[in-house]
Structure 1
């Protein structure tokens, strides 16, 4: 069993690391500093192995947020997973996650980036299969194989950068954006980021990953899946003028809308929050593809705060509901667990972008910049429809959890005396309230000047009000709307099943390849090659068993004759 002080010590050190990063980030932001360090590990003749570190405002702020969320998750799991026999294994996995993330954040070198990148994929796989069963294994394989595509793209970038003499990508960001080799690198980076941040065609991995992880660790996944966004932020100067950004804008906009629609059809609490994460990732990637990397980074940090809090509240509610995740069974939570309900509601409202919470500062700014940009109607529509859908599924979730009646069992004991969990949730609650304003003052040295007509300025409010009304209406539609639902059953099935993406990325991909492998096994390995190798040799020996029989008589004359025969053949070959 784990030492009871071990978790407290880890929490203390992570908080100290967070405060150190906090102080350094303020200093670096105020003085606009960037620190590039190289540590020569070994030097032998002309070969040297060098570890590079890049400390700038972006990396320091992100490290601060990662260490804060991880420390809070570790404190939370001290109570939440207190009955777990292998708690030390879980804590070590979370620490490995933090280490991999820090490797990824502070590396200006593609070699050390892939260490962090692959480390994140490995740790997420280990967390998904933490409770071993068939379903978690399948979800883990889907996660790790999706990430493997991104790993291959990073490896291609590494091999291509050999042409330039250094793997430090920061040397190449300010020139040669129209060079074809740079376009190749930017395409590989975009594809790698799409796999890690689960854009369309890789989206089915996120709900599966969140569904089967141990309950506290999806909080960390709210920063895990942003690794792809962070990589694109680092490569922003290289990506601005490439044609692939328009492709990324369309894909991320569709991801945002698809995840929002699916969340409205779901009844699994963790899946709704996972699809919400996917929708916000689409928002980050889309604004990044328009060239506003600072806005994407701003939303990445604020989103990590309230989404981690949302996962923690959901974990506690599922814990109290006898591990039941169906929101139709829940209800009246605000009467029985008011403090957890407070955290859940504020994090949900921050997700919607309610004024002066964390999400408002980033989402409202993003939507106003989009309204001012020179975009076509499709992209404009994707942004605003997705914003309305966010309000839609959030209000529906709140109606099911807070307003409706409790539907699970007749005798129940919902309690809130677990102060360790509440302390960890209240840390993130404070950050969900203040992180938006704090970051907006810290990050933007000059204000974004936005001039819009009144109706365009109010467009966000109109869409949000429409989403609220639709959420209330849909949550009120019970058995009365069953006939209407059944009449559109095929459409509903298509929408709730993520546009058939899980099937396309699992059965659609592996069935034909596995079937081809089975046919090759039957035709070649057990067919022609077997006939002319193992099976054929057996038949020859069987038909010519007389020779075999002679040798088995153990007659000395026969062995002597064979020796003389082989020596004659050897001498003959020697003279030739």
Structure 2
């Protein structure tokens, strides 16, 4: 039996059982804390704690369901890879690290899962071994290290409370200075993992990983770890910190939405789309509704995983070409994949009665209900428009536009395994939104808004579709006006120059300074008086050698000098 089939069946079974347990816990309002004493030393017990409540079980079931489909998908996508078993085991390690993070109410065990995600993600990003992958892997690993350090510092500060199980202190110690400090550190850690500004540059770079990994990373594991951690910590965050997080998250949402409209790499567009949705989750969390953030986290995980799977199938069929300008007319050659792709895109845009609509529309209406200020209101709606814009542009390029690939091609849906794994997800993409909204919000939510504010979302969707269509049709002519547009599009597509700032901006100047110091010190005056100018040293040593000769006159002279020195000291 293949390793892919074994893990696919195990994960699927665990996913279904976790989902049923989660519903049971939700109805009965159960929370189970399992404490396992590892060892006892000097009357201090080292305890491993596992937290099982409806939230951790539901999230685990979603992670396991998506990873089971991704592992099944990998069997065909990675076919012919010599190290397929190693790849599958890395993916399994990745999922297990996420499980450990989800069920931990303790900062130490959270760090184990957190670091496990960081290390395994590095191994997966550099899976195709070339310079680009190595650079992307290093950027991913080093950016995430900042978050790891923040959690380590939070662990050190947690010692003030006598235990690392943060869950006991969240409400009780909310106004304590130490808890506020821990809150800041946890937000910093979450910002690095969930790629908020200024740590955004690693997320599109991590696209160097194989597509099944991207599907897993961008839906339910690595990038959602930060959001999940903040959902757990949300009771202890101060209002000032919430405002700060809200501003950063909304700017991330806006920046990534703009960037995706000028990008031509299929996987990078979907990666920037993930970044935009992460900004949305973070901002609604900062507005004070963690349940809505969790709801969007789950619905987004499903359609984003499927979106990447569809993209992987298209890239696979196109001979590993990722540029959307070469694609077009896919609806004729890959009809089923195109259908799935379109449904996911509609769900991402928030088209009524697909899963994305239930969470996204609720988030936007919740924000409209208690408007904080005009800036946040405007940014939210502009970001919705931009989401629809890049989704429509992508659909136009892929499904409607001209086919610009080789005349001699074999673009067809030949892989049943990939299609079956995608079919497994498509039903959940369509139905999970309504199902989750009935499960999570047992009491009905009534939002009363004026008619114009109520249809504002729909207006932004229509406006976004029009802008996306215009951008897709836009052809550059060689004039000064188009040159300015080209420069602007380069700036926006490179995420406001963030990749350059976080790579060259961080390491270029220290290295440049090191070069100057090397020239001045190591190869400067030290080299001049040392290695290069040995003659001076020889002269010095020959002069000093005179004192070591056993001449009687030298001995008498030194004795005379010593007596003179003693006399001076006495008088």
- Shared fold by TM > 0.5? yes
Asked if the contact 1:173–1:238 (Cα under 8 Å) also holds between the matched residues in 2, the reply is yes
Q: 2:279 — aligned with what?
A: 282
Counterpart CA distance in 2 for 1:533 and 1:184 is: 51
Q: Secondary structure at the match of 2:163?
A: coil
Is 1:336 matched up with 2:327?
Answer: no
Q: 1:511 — aligned with what?
A: 508
* CA shift digits 1:487-518 (9 cap, x unpaired): 43332222121111111111111111112223
Counterpart CA distance in 1 for 2:125 and 2:9 is: 27
Q: 1:228 — aligned with what?
A: 226
Is 1:255 matched up with 2:258?
Answer: no
Q: 1:470 — aligned with what?
A: 467
CA pair 541-110 structure 1, distance change in 2 beyond 3 A: farther
Instruction: Name the count of aligned residue pairs.
Output: 543
Q: 1:209 — aligned with what?
A: 206
Q: 1:87 — aligned with what?
A: 84
* CA shift digits 1:72-128 (9 cap, x unpaired): 111000011011111111101101101100110000000000001111111111111
Q: 1:171 — aligned with what?
A: 168
Asked if the contact 1:391–1:464 (Cα under 8 Å) also holds between the matched residues in 2, the reply is yes
Q: 2:147 — aligned with what?
A: 150
Counterpart CA distance in 2 for 1:477 and 1:342 is: 25
Q: 1:405 — aligned with what?
A: 402
Q: How far apart are 1:45 and its partner, in Å?
A: 3.6
Asked if the contact 1:128–1:209 (Cα under 8 Å) also holds between the matched residues in 2, the reply is yes
* CA shift digits 1:248-305 (9 cap, x unpaired): 1111101001100000001110010000000000000000011110000000000000
Counterpart CA distance in 2 for 1:485 and 1:300 is: 39
Q: How does 1:89-168 map to 2 (within 5 A)?
A: 89-168=86-165
Counterpart CA distance in 2 for 1:524 and 1:484 is: 51
Asked if the contact 2:250–2:376 (Cα under 8 Å) also holds between the matched residues in 1, the reply is yes
CA pair 149-477 structure 1, distance change in 2 beyond 3 A: same
Is 1:379 matched up with 2:393?
Answer: no
Q: TM-score scaled by structure 1? A: 0.91
Counterpart CA distance in 1 for 2:90 and 2:528 is: 50
* CA shift digits 1:39-67 (9 cap, x unpaired): 01112341322110000111001100111
Q: How far apart are 1:19 and its partner, in Å?
A: 1.2
Asked if the contact 2:306–2:344 (Cα under 8 Å) also holds between the matched residues in 1, the reply is yes
Q: 1:567 — aligned with what?
A: none
CA pair 474-158 structure 1, distance change in 2 beyond 3 A: same
* CA shift digits 1:407-461 (9 cap, x unpaired): 1111221121211000100111111011111111111121222010001000001
Structure 1, unpaired ranges of 5+ = 549-576
Q: Which moved more, 1:92-101 or 1:489-498?
A: 489-498
CA pair 91-535 structure 1, distance change in 2 beyond 3 A: farther
Q: How far apart are 1:176 and its partner, in Å?
A: 2.7
Q: How far apart are 1:536 and its partner, in Å?
A: 9.3
Q: Secondary structure at the match of 1:200?
A: coil
Is 1:449 matched up with 2:454?
Answer: no
Q: 1:33 — aligned with what?
A: 30
Q: Which moved more, 1:462-471 or 1:411-420?
A: 411-420
Q: Secondary structure at the match of 1:243?
A: helix
Asked if the contact 1:183–1:242 (Cα under 8 Å) also holds between the matched residues in 2, the reply is no
Q: Which one of 236, 239, 252 corresponds to residue 238 of structure 1?
A: 236
Counterpart CA distance in 2 for 1:347 and 1:483 is: 38
Q: 1:428 — aligned with what?
A: 425
Counterpart CA distance in 2 for 1:461 and 1:376 is: 21
Counterpart CA distance in 1 for 2:457 and 2:478 is: 29
Is 1:489 matched up with 2:486?
Answer: yes
Q: Secondary structure at the match of 1:405?
A: coil
* CA shift digits 1:209-238 (9 cap, x unpaired): 02x001211011122201100000000110
Q: How far apart are 1:486 and its partner, in Å?
A: 2.0
Q: How does 1:176-195 map to 2 (within 5 A)?
A: 176-195=173-192
Q: 2:557 — aligned with what?
A: none
CA pair 519-400 structure 1, distance change in 2 beyond 3 A: same
* CA shift digits 1:377-436 (9 cap, x unpaired): 111011000000000000111111111121111122112121100010011111101111
Q: Secondary structure at the match of 2:408?
A: coil
Q: Which moved more, 1:304-313 or 1:37-46?
A: 37-46
Structure 2, unpaired ranges of 5+ = 546-571
Q: 1:362 — aligned with what?
A: 359
* CA shift digits 1:1-24 (9 cap, x unpaired): xxx522101111111111110111
CA pair 370-7 structure 1, distance change in 2 beyond 3 A: same
Q: Secondary structure at the match of 1:327?
A: coil
Counterpart CA distance in 1 for 2:161 and 2:524 is: 49
Asked if the contact 2:19–2:61 (Cα under 8 Å) also holds between the matched residues in 1, the reply is yes
Counterpart CA distance in 1 for 2:107 and 2:530 is: 47
